[in-house]
Structure 1
Amino acid sequence: MVHAHGLGDHSPVPPLGAPPGAPASCGARHHALRTFQWFRGDSGDPAELVTAFLEGNGLPVRKLGRTGDKDRPDGHGAICGASLYVSADAGCVMINATAGGPSPVPAVPDVYAVIWVHADVPSQGSTDDWELGSWHASWTPQEHAGAVQDVRDAIGRGDVYQVNVVGHASAPYTGNPAAALRRVAALPGARYGGVLAGPGGRWAIATASPETLVEVRDGRVITRPIKGTRPATAAGHRELLASAKERAEHIMIVDLERNDLARLPGTGPVRVDELFAVRRWSGLWQAESVVSAALDGDVGLAELLRAVCPGGSVTGAPKHAALDRIAALEPVGRGASMGGLGWIGHDHVDLGLSIRTVAVDGARVHAWAGGGITADSDPADEVAEAAAKAGPLRAALAGTVTGAA
């Protein structure tokens, strides 16, 4: 069953700061007009259903390659755009691939969209009565290392070339999580930093994602895959640039993303605009590439989502075979992580990959982290890398650091 709501159906809370990917010109004036949600197990094609919802609210999502209306009115009451969240599980449904286990955050829909208008929004204040309990991981370091070795064995058999393995942990909390979620969104290097809250405040997602799942702007479709991580030190920078293992893993995913974009009708040629550029996220160096193509005017959002979801850098290659291994190995579903989260505007689409992302459900906070596994991966190193990625999120939630390196 699909759920679409207007203001009379529930009481949406004001955003906890700007939603992920929202244009800076919107300021802090976001007010929810109506929402859409779809859960795994609901009927229908989620890609088509959410596209129809957005189109019905005046957003030009059927012909993304054409120049949108850049002169939309900016006053109060005007629809400025929409937030869109698509889970990794929804992405699997869209492409008829194997989905993972049940989500540890079942309150969060697998597809959620919010139509925003500009209006005066009450301040959320700065009270931080949040108290965070002890973290509990869904698997032990030894079990994580065993999953890495399983992937290496599958690569040795020729079943896959690379698989991204993700772990989950959660902690109980009491109090208002708003300030903690804003600290997560403010981590340095967060291209898509923001918070998206569900109706009535029953759940919220905060992301500090640096990675572009897909962007459409000025007639081009763009993705910016990230693969390769080292500490943000001078030595770490040298090690990342010199690592044959990291570069080979990265290029596999760049090739996968090139193929994903090439599947869109009428696109091309697909080009790599930048390869293995080292950028900083919080206390880590990460390698990023830029892949793009001209986009035919008649390509719609549904086709775009089917082409890029779930994201190649958090699945592996070949994508369907990698998703089979992920479903067999990971003890819980990916929930709010490893999906798409961002903005649908009148003249652009900009969705980040929901890595470096946490979710709250009224009782617990959830976080995920992992990495890509190749034949040369060392299990202990992969466990340590996942911990390094989760560290800034946990520290921001606890309020022990502001996110500086």
Structure 2
Amino acid sequence: MVRGKSAERMSMNRPDVVEALPRMVVDPPAAPTPCRGRLVERARWEWRPADGGDPAARTEEFLAAHGLPLHDLARPAPRHHHDTVCGAALYLSAAAGALLAGGPAGAANPADLPEVAVVVYGHTDTPPAHPGPPTGWWRGPWTESWTPRQHATAVDAVRQAIGHGDVYQVNLVGHAAAPYTGDPLPALARLGRLPGARYGGVLTGPGWAIGCASPETLIELRGGTLTTRPIKGTRPATAAGRADLLASAKERAEHIMIVDLERNDLARIARTGSVHVDDLFAVRRWCDLWQAESTIRAHAADGLGLADLLRAVCPGGSVTGAPKLAALDHIAALEPVGRGASMGGLGWVDAGGIDLGLTIRTAAVDREAVHVWAGGGITWDSDPDAEVAEAAAKTAPVRATLA
């Protein structure tokens, strides 16, 4: 694991030795389809708060040193060729995003994971062979970070803050962990194949792995166009559930608050007057749930670099609340454990642009346990028991896949 500046310099000059989990999976979310199965790691960099420095700036510098200069995203370079670096997986935790936004990082990460990881890939015509068949996988019982009553009490605390005028909306997230034995990577790979997982895939490191089944776009940039697709509003994937979601004034108000917040986030890094909403409150399906999604686009401002882009959009508005910094204060005060791999960003960057998913519907493993998270946005009209039930509905397919 990369720690400290001496380890960082070493990883800048040669691929890291990747070890500790039984098998390695090279299938990062949003990697180009023609390249999957042909990717080989060239170099990596990992960051934890003890390493210091600005993780956004250091990410941009590391990528530039490995053939991926992302200093002017309004003028993307041509896509990669076979004999050059293909691209890189990029992961930022919610805590790293909070730091970039100038807010509190919140409670400690319950998983032994870096807060930022960048893995640069090239191509190979001979995919690396797995060292052997996977070992048996056993997952023990879940231990929750809070009880349903504690979760409901936190919802009431947010409603009180809204009543006082401190915030308009706060996203609350709970966590659960379970011990495991054997190889967790096939289970994480199954997670990435869940229906509706636009950002399905697995990212691994020394002693850790993240499996993602996210349907939500944190930020995409192609051809100088920025796109974000916030998701807010959930119902069971039935005809009645769809009708109820479309008719819910509470869900629509919650959703539009976040659309406005993310329009403002994009406006900080976009050409003046270019921000527009293409699709408002469209109902999409993920597993057995309907979810409301909007699409917001803008043209990147001249000279926009990766670091400034990450500072503007992280952490995602749909998993923080509005106003974002005030919501982060309440999140840090109310959530009993950190968000770890959830509610951050995970995806792919290359010379042609960026495609990062928001790490909802995400699990992580370290050497000791498998971790999951789930939550929802709280507004004045929220019913505490309904919010607890919604979080359980969101995490149920993830937990079932990890059984």
TM-score category, normalised to shorter length: over 0.9
* Counterpart amino acid of residue 261 in structure 1: L
Aligned-pair Cα RMSD in Å: 1.5
Aligned residue pairs total 392
Asked whether the equivalents of residues 7 and 33 of structure 1 are also in contact (C-alpha less than 8 Å), the reply is: no
Corresponding residue of 2:174: 167
Kept after mapping to 1: 8 A contact 2:194/2:213: yes
1:11 equivalent to 2:11? Answer no
CA drift of 1:73 comes to 1.8
Q: Deviations over 1:271-303 (max 9, x none)?
A: 001100000111100000001101123100001
Match of 1:129 in 2: 136
Q: 1:265 offset after TM fit, Å?
A: 5.5
Contact 1:51 1:301 in 2 (8 A): yes
Contact 2:12/2:45 (CA < 8 Å) preserved in 1? no
CA distance in 1, matches of 2:91, 2:402: 22
Judge which range, 15-24 or 133-142, deviates more.
Answer: 15-24
CA distance 1:144–1:152, shift in 2 (3 Å): same
Aligned counterpart, 2:340: 335
Unpaired segments ≥5 residues, structure 2: none
What is the TM-score normalised by the length of structure 1? 0.94
Aligned to 1:401: none
CA change 1:61–1:181 in 2 (3 A) is same
1:377 corresponds to: 382
Out of 109, 114, 117, the position equivalent to 1:109 is 114
Give the Cα–Cα distance (whole angstroms) in 1 for the partners of residues 120 and 15 of structure 2. Answer: 14
On the 8 A contact 1:15/1:31 being kept in 2, the answer is: no
Are the aligned partners of 1:83 and 1:115 in contact in 2 as well (CA < 8 Å)? yes
Contact 1:17 1:182 in 2 (8 A): no
- Check the 8 A contact 2:14/2:42 in 1, yes or no: no
Please state whether the residue corresponding to 1:98 is helix, strand or coil. coil
Instruction: After TM superposition, give the deviation of residue 42 of structure 1 in Å.
Output: 2.4
Q: Tell me whether 1:39 sits opposite 2:48 in the alignment.
A: yes
2:268 to 236, 252, 263: 263
Question: What's 2:164 paired with?
Answer: 157
Name stretches of at least 5 consecutive residues in structure 1 with no aligned partner: 399-405
Contact in 2 for aligned 1:247/1:276 (Cα 8 Å): yes
In structure 1, distance between residues paired with 2:350 and 2:45: 16
SS of 1:193 mapped into structure 2:
strand
Secondary structure of 1:208 counterpart: strand
Determine whether 1:188 maps to 2:179: no
**1:41-80 residue pairs with structure 2 within 5 A?**
41-70=50-79, 72-75=80-83, 78-80=84-86
Matching residue's letter, 2:182? G
Once the two structures are overlaid, the 10-residue window that deviates more, 153-162 or 40-49, is 40-49
2:60 & 2:69 partners in 1: Cα distance? 9
Aligned to 2:330: 325
Instruction: Tell me the equivalent position of 2:312.
Output: 307
Which of residues 27, 41, 49 is equivalent to 2:36?
Answer: 27
Of 377, 380, 392, the match for 1:387? 392
1:95-146 Cα distance to aligned partner (Å, 9 max, x none): 21111111001x2111110000112223446635100100000100000000
Contact preservation (8 Å) 1:126, 1:179: no
Deviations 1:355-393 (A, max 9, x none): 100000022000000000000000000000000000000
Q: 1:372 is aligned with what amino acid?
A: G
Tell me if the contact between 2:13 and 2:43 (Cα under 8 Å) persists in the aligned partners: yes
* 8 Å contact kept, 1:226–1:286: yes
Of 133, 148, 152, 1:145 maps to 152
Structure 1 residue identity aligned to 2:61: A
| Partner of residue 291, structure 2 | 286
Q: 1:336, 1:348 → 2: CA distance?
A: 23
The one-letter code sitting in structure 1 at the alignment partner of 2:31 is: A
Maintained 8 Å contact 1:128/1:178: no
- 2:91 is the counterpart of 1:82: no
User: In 2, distance between residues paired with 1:30 and 1:49?
Assistant: 24
Q: 1:56 to 1:264 in 2, by over 3 A?
A: same
Other-structure match for 1:211: 216
Whether contact under 8 Å (2:76, 2:351) holds in the other structure is no
Instruction: For 1:355, give the aligned amino acid.
Output: I
The percentage of counterpart residues that share the same residue type is: 59
TM-score, normalised to structure 2's length?
A: 0.94
Distance in 2, matches of 1:37 and 1:166, equals 25
